[in-house]
């Protein structure tokens, strides 16, 4: 039990919070057919973090989050400029932007590592959920012990705050988000400011991606934006129910994935553990596969036509 408190409670909680936060935003991305903006933003977190490190010289989390945030906004602006001034199709504009920025990040990283600095590319890509150890978490009593609680890894509080911000955003802007997702022209006609809501949504995606970046890595976080929401979309035609399904799927992915990674092989008698972030995303993908095969609303219009 104390093993669980020390090694698994915090990573699992962080994984659950991140998964549910990303899945919540993912619903609107999937509805708007903008899923790949999460792909672009997650890739550029790396150059943002490296650049902020080179500028400030510290690996303090606030500086890094700021760097990643700035790079996300730069990305969105670049994609928009290439699309608008160059009349390039949006997916191609995205491809040009995020690959170039990612390449810049890798180059900066290699050059700075040559001068004796260590930021690990692999952790940036895979994440490092397992490192969130709560040394004072020796038992249930630690949960009510202020001294022990003070030593909780700071990432936990950070993802908590981000989750709260995202939740407030979705609740406050729910009508705008829904309108913009289904009929942006109508939204513009009644002055619901779809462009502003779009920008806010992208900013929220960036904030969530950055918070998740440290824990689960930049590429796996894309799975949490897309898979639970896409799976939920195949379960129901009702947006409220879709949000609920996506939250449930995210929760299941986080818990089952974490358990499989940490204890799955041990339960089979093999003494090794696997990448928790990778396993969570894999479970999310499997859930999506199941809904693709048997989800009640998987066909959309075709089903409606038969009904």
Partner 1 sequence: MMDAWWPALIFSAGYNTTLVTLGAMLLGAGAGMIGAFVLLRKRSLVSDAITHATLPGLAMAFVLIGAIQGDGRWLPGLLLGAALSAALGLWLVQWISARTRLGEDAAIGAVLSTFFAFGVVLITVIQSMNVTGQSGLTGYLVGSTAGMLAVEAKLIASCALGLLLAVFILRREFLLVCFDPEFAQTQGVNTGRVDLLLLLLLMAVVVIGLKVTGLILVVALTITPPVSARFWTNRPPRMVALAAVLGALAAYLGVTLSSARASLPTGSLIVLSAFAIFLMSFLAAPRRGVFASLLAHQRFRRRVHLRQGLLSMSRNEPIFDGLTLRLLRRAGHIRRDGVATAQGRAAAREAEHEERLWALYRRLYPGDALHREHAGLDPIARVLPPDAIDELEQRLLASGGRA
Residues of this chain that interact with partner 1 (CB under 8 A) are: 30, 33-36, 38-39, 43, 82, 85-89, 91-96, 99-100, 102-104, 106-107, 110-111, 113-114, 121-122, 125-126, 217, 219-223, 225-227, 230, 233-234, 261, 272-275, 277-282, 284-286, 288, 292, 295, 297-301
Q: Could you tell me the smallest distance in angstroms from the CB atom of residue 81 to partner 1? A: 9
- Count of other CB atoms within 10 angstroms of residue 129: 29
Q: Is 222 exposed, middle or buried (0-12, 13-18, 19+ CB in 10 A)?
A: buried
Q: Which is nearer to partner 1, 160 or 264 (CB)?
A: 264
Q: Could you tell me the smallest distance in angstroms from the CB atom of residue 291 to partner 1? A: 8
List all residues 6 or more positions away from 212 whose beta carbon is below 8 Å from its beta carbon: 18, 21, 22, 127, 159, 221, 224
Q: Could you tell me the smallest distance in angstroms from the CB atom of residue 273 to partner 1? A: 8
Q: Which is nearer to partner 1, 191 or 301 (CB)?
A: 301
Q: Which is nearer to partner 1, 87 or 191 (CB)?
A: 87
Q: Which is nearer to partner 1, 3 or 110 (CB)?
A: 110
Q: Which is nearer to partner 1, 148 or 281 (CB)?
A: 281
Q: Could you tell me the smallest distance in angstroms from the CB atom of residue 151 to partner 1? A: 27
Q: Could you tell me the smallest distance in angstroms from the CB atom of residue 250 to partner 1? A: 14
DSSP secondary-structure letter at 6?
I
What are the phi and psi torsion angles at 33 (to 5°)?
Answer: 55, 40
Q: Could you tell me the smallest distance in angstroms from the CB atom of residue 47 to partner 1? A: 10
Q: Which is nearer to partner 1, 68 or 152 (CB)?
A: 68
CB-CB contact of 225 with 37 (8 Å): no
Q: Which is nearer to partner 1, 148 or 279 (CB)?
A: 279
Per-position b or e across 279-307, b if 16+ CB within 10 A of its CB = bbbbbbbebbeebeeebebeeeeeeeeee
Q: Could you tell me the smallest distance in angstroms from the CB atom of residue 77 to partner 1? A: 14
CA dihedral 191, 195, 199, 200 (to 10 degrees): 10
Q: What stretches of the chain show up as alpha helix (H) in DSSP?
A: 2-3, 9-31, 35-56, 61-85, 90-114, 121-126, 146-149, 154-172, 174-182, 184-189, 194-216, 220-233, 239-259, 265-267, 276-294, 301-306
């Amino acid at each position: 039990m104390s093993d669980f408190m020390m090694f698994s409670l915090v990573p699992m909680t962080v994984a659950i919070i991140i998964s549910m936060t990303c899945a919540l935003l993912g619903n609107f991305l999937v509805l708007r057919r903008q899923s790949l903006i999460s792909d672009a933003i997650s890739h550029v977190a790396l150059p943002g973090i490296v650049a902020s490190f080179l500028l400030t010289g510290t690996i303090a989390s606030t500086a890094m989050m700021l760097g990643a945030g700035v790079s996300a906004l730069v990305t969105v602006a670049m994609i928009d400029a290439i699309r608008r001034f160059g009349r390039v199709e949006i997916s191609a504009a995205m491809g040009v932007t995020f690959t170039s920025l990612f390449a810049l990040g890798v180059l900066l990283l290699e050059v700075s590592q040559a001068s004796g600095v260590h930021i690990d590319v692999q952790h940036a890509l895979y994440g490092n959920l397992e490192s969130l150890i709560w040394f004072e978490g020796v038992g249930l009593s630690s949960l009510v012990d202020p001294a022990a609680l003070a030593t909780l890894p700071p990432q936990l509080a950070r993802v908590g705050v981000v989750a709260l911000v995202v939740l407030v955003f979705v609740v406050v802007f729910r009508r705008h988000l829904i309108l913009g997702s289904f009929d942006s022209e109508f939204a513009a006609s009644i002055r619901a400011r779809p462009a502003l809501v779009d920008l806010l949504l992208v900013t929220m995606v960036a904030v969530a991606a950055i918070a998740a970046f440290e824990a689960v890595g930049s590429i796996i976080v894309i799975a949490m934006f897309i898979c639970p929401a896409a799976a939920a979309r195949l379960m129901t035609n009702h947006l409220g129910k879709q949000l609920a399904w996506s939250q449930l799927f995210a929760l299941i992915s986080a818990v089952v994935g974490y358990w499989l990674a940490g204890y799955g092989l041990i339960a089979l008698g093999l003494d090794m553990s696997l990448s928790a972030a990778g396993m969570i995303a894999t479970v999310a993908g499997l859930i999506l596969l199941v809904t693709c095969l048997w989800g009640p609303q998987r066909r959309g219009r075709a089903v409606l036509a038969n009904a």
